[in-house]
Structure 1
């Protein structure tokens, strides 16, 4: 009994000693003996395919025969030696080729084709993709070659290496790897003991975020080198050539910073105020057509943020394009895509990773298909965009055909020591059917809207979908509009059930497309559809979102619902405003007096300021805001409220605010998810109701 009391007393004292937020993480780190290393980073078994580790390495066969070989989701059938798609992994089928059985190698040369979602043919999968195109192109210029499609969406470098090693069981004559978009370092919140002190210190320093991003880029480069060398070793062990296809990204028609938001890094008090001032001046100059002045002002913003802000780089590119500075604009856009932002993670190859693939690929004797060079050679433009891409990195049909034509040239060289004309290979590449291409553009329109890409590019895809296959415009797009305009989750609606009867739509919508719902969350999507098909705007609004049909509307409903999406949202009890102006649409059954209830703050504000409230473009009031939560109400006069769609905007004050970087360092040291971006305001409540 006495020993238990002693242990309890010691435990209590220990708890008192380490309860300080800065002490506990240090103890955790001291207990962690793992040191960061390239191999360990690249070999982390996480993600959707982690459950396959034992299967692919042949350690266990699960329900099948113990020790049976596997190539991803395909397991060897003992009686035939063929590899059959396992129902044990049916939840992973949607990431892979829709192939039930990989037969034993015949008389034809065989190419194992591996890669990520771009190689999978995202938006076209499973009906059309790069592997099918490559096989047809090769058949047009020489002996028939079998292409085994092993590409998988959501494939990281660790899994790619293991899949390449496992592909030896298929007896390939060449390995083609189309990858690099997912080759990046882990999040800062998972930093190892070795990197802890340096990373934490940089978070609180002037220019530290820029240095930290450079460190993350170097880590990604190290992972890329390790991956290329491991791929080369696997190919060498098989005695076959390795062909690396270097991806390209959408530079011209993709915004890293979503429309209406800013990704301003946390800075000192004076720098934050100065950044907002010069950036606002740059936008005003650009709107007035004074592009030279706008360029000068936005360069000042970039000097302040250290080139770590997509918004300033993209504004720079915009005004440079207006002055005919195409090369400079392209460089600025690529810098924007190279920014490491843990609040917004999406695929896309970093410039440093691309250079590693080029350099190390040559060193290990691989053939490198340089898609940026191939596209420039074929299309003649230096800024790739919607002519090749459907989103940030996934290819349209023409992009696939040209990419695989360049790949086919390398395969012909490797297998037959011959050459082939690029244009002839492009022409030999099959196109998707009009229906398949139409669905790809329709899904791309949804995806672009969900990533905040603006009405113009989204409506472009919706119009293109209908022009490719008119029944999509007549039937499918109205179904999409209906599925995403309600308060009820799309999965529960019959219109959504009709959509997913299409195999391409089912693959995307059931796996990637349901990240939000309802008028408020989906307003940009619905607006883009109406821009392409105005008649849909005449459909009556869902009563769940119409004031007059309901007594009160929670304008933060869009924030609470999609918190499951870890890529862009954090689990918070408030909405963080990354923008200088926050916009909220709502419907009213008629012109009526309304009351707005708002609970808000500006984090770190050193003095109070006023949020300017605008309704349908006109200022209708002000509410005071400070560092602490303020609960206020204002009345919106009926003369300002329209029947139908209304737009409420909150303009946040540019008040002096405390330097919040030390608190960011504490979050890092306690292992929390990091948000290195400036919050211009917080909203805990934003409700609108009929005034009494």
Structure 2
């Protein structure tokens, strides 16, 4: 047996990877499709207790005073569930109507829970506008996926609700992502399609799988409704923020030898857009869209932005939808949940495949009520999460449907909005909510162009201040906590600990914490807001910047994750201790024609820069020019090829700002052998090795910056 194992090991470890390839091919042949589960659950599995009941999320059944109650217990995902309800009873006592409210973060009221939530708004509508006594049970969970939704719905039927209201659809497809190094069971879904039609085939398979999954989910919910006639099921499709949230995604390798042409048009589109030549940018964006056949988010976003800038929102809408549909396919960058247009189109009030479910499209409701085709910050705080004004609007049609089913006196949803007072909410809690939302936007909302409007982010933080000026103390604590050991001591610092006490919900602190690195945009926006409101924001900014400036004495490497701008464009967002380390990013690779880094300097001394970079293997030209800029001023050029090349140059203090600076590298867009790249991609994918779905336009081994004259 040992001899056989030794021989097998030798085969699998062959340097040409032939053994590994053989193993993978055998797996592909033998692995049955029945063994793959298209729907997973991200909540812990539970068994029936001794009384015959299942847990409902984080609430577990127990007998208390001869009565069954569901008590909240601490488990691995407790922090994600609605945070205020300690327990609820199985039997209705003081109410005659019960609603189970189930859904993901948009239903939970992310950022605003527990101060105000959609469930509380719905409860208020029912209380004010109906003669019945209502109990709305908030069973929402942030990050709830498709399997968890089905399981929660099934278990909530134990409570014999009169209504189950579901607000979901944003989180269903994360398990279907095309992973560059995923488990074999997931790769199986795409292995055949990548062989037959490259990455376009993979995308088609992804879309087919999303439709299959959506139909499976809806079928299960419809069957539950059919089997439980005393409970009425209402499914509300969440809306999306198209106007104020951008999903910039690199282009995957194409089959038509035009991948690099797409990037050339991208550069031209951005140049035109930045000079407000929207007609020209639209032309280049449409060429990109032709090349990628409508499969890329960035080309769709450029077209949509141009149309909105030209006042053509109706024309922009379908491209906004396309942007959202295409933003979740590949896993190599931080993605943002969203409902696919398939769900919105397939499941509506005219749906015949699910006759036991009442459907409401909340996006349609918001558009109809506001008169605005492209929804934005008036009702949203990020890509899909609503603000309290949004809660007030979208809960009205749900309340109207419920009220009209039990009352003879029918009430239209617009009547409810206009004749039901909004819930009063503690201004200080709202201020904290909007502060956390501003952090989320400044860390994750990546513009499709390379420029960003600092005023836009200052306005987000100022909105928090407008609710309650005491949030300025929280902003000050945030910057101080981020100053501790250049951010590494955020959670351990006194400021960080005090900040934790002032957050609204358990999830607020992780949102605040998710910001590895210099984070120039966020810190600048907060410090300006502090200064504008009578605080010493400029002094605080200076204290924050001092450790970074001192580090220039011994030299820094801008390819460290701490200095990479929009780090979550390169590393998937995760609460992972490795996110800010060199180990997570051995060297820097750019999917884009421009790369950006944050440098903090005093502006009093010249800086020496030593750049070691190369172009990806496969470029046909030997000599190509890379340009280096600081704050849009060119400071150096170097000739590069596919071998690592090092060059030093000096940045004059005349072009260096005191404080935050932006260093950028402009890469040449050189034609690569796309057929060879696709062949390599297929081979590596079959073998289970890491693959690059997107072209690499340039790589940086090191980008050293040091004060000139020190140790020279």
Equivalent in the alignment of 1:688: 705
Distance 1:625 1:83 in 2: 69
Instruction: Report how far residue 357 of structure 1 moved.
Output: 2.9
> TM-score normalised to the size of structure 2?
0.86
CA contact (8 A) 1:74 1:101 kept: yes
Q: Distance in 1 between matches of 2:101 and 2:281?
A: 47
In the alignment, is residue 383 of structure 1 matched against residue 374 of structure 2?
yes
Q: 1:436 to 1:421 in 2, by over 3 A?
A: farther
Structure 1 range deviating more: 677-686 or 163-172: 677-686
- The residue that corresponds to 1:200 in the other structure is 194
Deviation string, structure 1 residues 312-347 (Cα, Å, up to 9, x no partner): 221211221222211111221111111033233221
**Offset, 1:386:** 0.4
Contact 2:98 2:162 in 1 (8 A): yes
Instruction: Show the counterpart of 1:110.
Output: 98
Whether 2:80 is the aligned partner of 1:83: answer no
User: For the structure 1 residues 590 and 88, does the alpha-carbon distance in structure 2 shift closer, same or farther, using more than 3 Å as the test?
Assistant: closer
Answer yes or no: is 1:601 the counterpart of 2:614.
Answer: yes
Contact 2:520 2:660 survives alignment (8 Å): no
Whether the 8 Å CA contact 1:225–1:360 is kept in 2: the answer is no
> Residue in 2 aligned with 1:514?
513
The answer as to whether partners of 1:578 and 1:677 remain within 8 angstroms in 2 is yes
Question: Secondary structure of the equivalent of 1:600?
Answer: strand
Equivalent residues in 2 for 1:174-573, closer than 5 Å: 174-184=163-173, 186-189=176-179, 195-201=189-195, 204=198, 208-209=199-200, 211-239=201-229, 240-257=231-248, 263-267=250-254, 271-339=258-326, 340-342=329-331, 343-358=333-348, 363-416=354-407, 419-426=410-417, 427-453=420-446, 454=452, 455-472=454-471, 474-486=472-484, 487-489=486-488, 490-504=490-504, 506-510=506-510, 512-519=511-518, 522-534=519-531, 536-539=537-540, 540=542, 541-547=544-550, 550-558=553-561, 565=573, 571-573=584-586
Query: Contact 2:146 / 2:172 at 8 angstroms: preserved in 1?
Result: yes
Equivalent residues in 2 for 1:61-80 (5 A)? Answer: 68-80=53-65
Distance in 1 of aligned mates of 2:341 and 2:72: 38
Cα 1:638–1:113 shift into 2, 3 Å:
closer
Q: Is the 8 A contact 2:613 2:640 kept in 1?
A: yes
Q: Secondary structure at the match of 1:411?
A: helix
Distance in 2 (CA, whole Å) between partners of 1:629 and 1:435 is: 54
Match 1:610 to one of 618, 625, 635? 625
Separation of aligned partners in 1, 2:388 and 2:692? 37
2:141 alignment counterpart: 152
**Bigger Cα displacement from structure 2, 140-149 vs 406-415:** 406-415
Shift of 1:230: 1.0
Matches within 5 A, 1:573-592: 573-592=586-605
Q: CA deviation at 1:116?
A: 0.5
> Residue deviations 1:498-548, cap 9 Å, x none?
2221242543223x44233342xx112113324544452343144321047
Structure 1 position 377, deviation (Å): 2.0
Q: Residue 530 and residue 272 in structure 1: after superposition, are their counterparts in 2 closer, same or farther (change >3 A)?
A: farther
SS of the equivalent of 2:696 reads coil
CA deviation string 1:136-177 (max 9, x = no partner): 101111122110111111111111111111112212111111
1:622 to 637, 641, 653: 637
Q: Bigger CA drift: 233-242 or 670-679?
A: 670-679
In structure 2, the residue corresponding to 1:72 is in which secondary structure? coil
Structure 2: any 5+ residue segments left out of the alignment?
Answer: 447-451
Separation (CA, whole Å) in 1 of partners of 2:693 and 2:408:
51
- Distance, in Å, in 1 between the alignment partners of 2:218 and 2:406 is 21
Q: Distance in 2 between matches of 1:434 and 1:18?
A: 62
Measured at CA, do residues 334 and 618 of structure 1 come closer, stay the same or move farther in structure 2, by a change above 3 Å?
A: same
Contact 1:74 / 1:85 at 8 angstroms: preserved in 2?
A: yes
C-alpha contact (below 8 Å) 1:602/1:626 kept by paired residues:
yes
In structure 2, C-alpha distance between the alignment counterparts of 1:287 and 1:523, rounded to whole Å: 21
In 1, Cα distance between the equivalents of 2:684 and 2:149? 33
2:78 corresponds to which of 71, 81, 92: 92
- Report Cα offsets for 1:360-407 as digits up to 9, x if no partner: 576332111211221122111111110111101011011111111111
Q: How far apart are the structure 2 equivalents of 1:297 and 1:11? A: 53
Deviation of 1:219 (Å): 1.2
Distance 1:388 1:112 in 2: 24
- Partner of 2:114: helix, strand, or coil? coil
The 1:531–1:603 alpha-carbon spacing in structure 2 relative to 1, beyond 3 Å, is farther
User: What is the aligned partner in structure 1 of residue 449 from structure 2?
Assistant: none
Q: Residues 616, 318 of structure 1: CA spacing in aligned structure 2 closer, same or farther, 3 A cutoff?
A: same
CA contact (8 A) 2:177 2:330 kept: no
**Matching residue within 651, 660, 668 for 2:685:** 668
Q: TM-score, normalised by structure 1?
A: 0.89
Change (3 A) 1:361 1:159: farther
CA distance in 1, matches of 2:412, 2:429: 28
Q: Kindly indicate whether the alpha-carbon contact (under 8 Å) linking 1:580 and 1:652 is maintained by their aligned counterparts in 2.
A: yes
Mapped contact 1:594–1:638 kept (Cα < 8 A) = yes
Checking the alignment, whether the CA contact within 8 Å between 2:99 and 2:162 is kept in structure 1 is yes
1:623 to 1:364, Cα distance in 2 relative to 1, 3 A: same
Give secondary structure in 2 for the equivalent of 1:476. helix
Supply the distance in 2 between the matched residues of 1:89 and 1:606 (Cα, whole angstroms). Answer: 56
1:285 to 1:434, Cα distance in 2 relative to 1, 3 A: same
Structure 2 counterpart SS, 1:164: helix
Instruction: Choose 14-23 or 433-442, whichever is displaced more.
Output: 14-23
Q: Is the 8 A contact 1:131 1:149 kept in 2?
A: yes
1:122: how far off? Answer: 0.4
Q: 1:310 to 1:538 in 2, by over 3 A?
A: farther
Alpha-carbon distance between aligned partners in 2 of 1:579 and 1:452, rounded to the nearest angstrom = 17
Unaligned runs of 5+ in 1: none
Q: Distance in 2 between matches of 1:169 and 1:429?
A: 32
Give distance in 1, aligned partners of 2:663 and 2:385. Answer: 35
